[in-house]
Amino acid sequence: MGSALAAGAGNEWTTPAGNPQAMRYSELASIHAGNVGTLVEEFSVATGTKGGHQGQPLVVGSTMYIVTPYPNKLIALDLNNPGTVKWTFSPRVDAYSRGVACCDTVNRGPAYADGKIIYNLLDDSTVAVDASTGQQVWRARHGDVTTGETLTGAPIIAKDKVIIGNAGGELGIRGWVKALRVSDGQQVWKAFSTGPDSEVLIGANTKPWYAKDRGVDLGVTTWPGTTWQQGGSTSWAWFSYDPALNLVYYGTGNPGVWNPDMRKGDNKWGSSIFARNADTGEAAWVYQLTPHDGWDYDAVNESILVDLTIKGKTRQALVHFNKNGFAYTMDRATGEVLVAEKFAYTTWAEKVNMKTGAPAVVKAMEPHQGEITNGICPSPLGGKDWEPSAYSPQTGLFYVPAINFCNALEPLKAIYIAGTPFMGADIAFQPAPGGYMGELVAWNAATGQRAWNVIETLPVYSGVMATAGNLVFYGTLDGHFKALNATNGQVVFDKQLECGIIGSPIAYSAPDGTQRVAVYTGIGWLPGGFAGGPCPAGGGFGVQGGDGMRSPLAGAIAQLPTARGKTTPAAATSGMLHVFKLP
Other C-beta atoms lying within 10 Å of the C-beta of residue 201: 19
pTM of the model: 0.96
Please, what is the Cα angle at 460 between 343 and 328, to 5 degrees?
A: 25
Is 105 annotated in a binding site? The answer is no
The ranges assigned to domains in the chain are 25-581
Do residues 129 and 117 touch, judged by C-beta distance below 8 A? yes
123 three-state secondary structure: coil
pLDDT at 37: 98
Is 323 annotated in a binding site? The answer is yes
Helix (H) or strand (E) holding 552: helix 552-558
Helices vs. strands in the chain: H and E counts, helices first: 4, 38
228 three-state secondary structure: helix
E strand intervals along 412-561:
425-431, 438-444, 449-456, 465-467, 471-475, 480-485, 491-496, 506-509, 515-521
d(CA 348, CA 366) in angstroms, rounded, equals 7
According to DSSP, residue 147 is labeled G
pLDDT at 536: 87
Is 170 annotated in a binding site? The answer is yes
Other C-beta atoms lying within 10 Å of the C-beta of residue 287: 25
According to DSSP, residue 536 is labeled S
According to DSSP, residue 566 is labeled -
User: 113, 200, 222: which is closest to 158 by C-alpha?
Assistant: 113
The sign one gets for the Cα dihedral 232, 233, 238, 240 is negative
pLDDT at 179: 99
Helix (H) or strand (E) holding 286: strand 283-288
Catalytic residue numbers, as ranges: 296
527 three-state secondary structure: helix
Architecture of domain 25-581: 8 Propeller (2.140)
**In the chain, which residues have pLDDT < 50?**
1-3, 545-552, 563-569
d(CA 305, CA 287) in angstroms, rounded, equals 16
pLDDT digits (tens, 9 = 90+) for 197-225: 999 999 999 999 999 999 999 999 999 99
pLDDT at 102: 87
Do residues 91 and 72 touch, judged by C-beta distance below 8 A? yes
- Region at 212 (left for phi over 0; alpha for psi -120 to 50; beta for the rest): alpha
β-bridge pairing 465-467 and 471-475: antiparallel
Do residues 253 and 236 touch, judged by C-beta distance below 8 A? yes
If you write DSSP's letter for every residue of 168-227 in order, what string do you get? -GGGTPPPEEEEEETTT--EEEEEESSS-HHHHT--TT---SSGGG-SSSHHHHTSSTTG
User: 304, 363, 311, 293: which is closest to 328 by C-alpha?
Assistant: 304
If you write DSSP's letter for every residue of 348-385 in order, what string do you get? SEEEE-TTT--EEE-GGG---TT--EEEESS-TT-SS-
Do residues 302 and 222 touch, judged by C-beta distance below 8 A? no
pLDDT at 517: 99
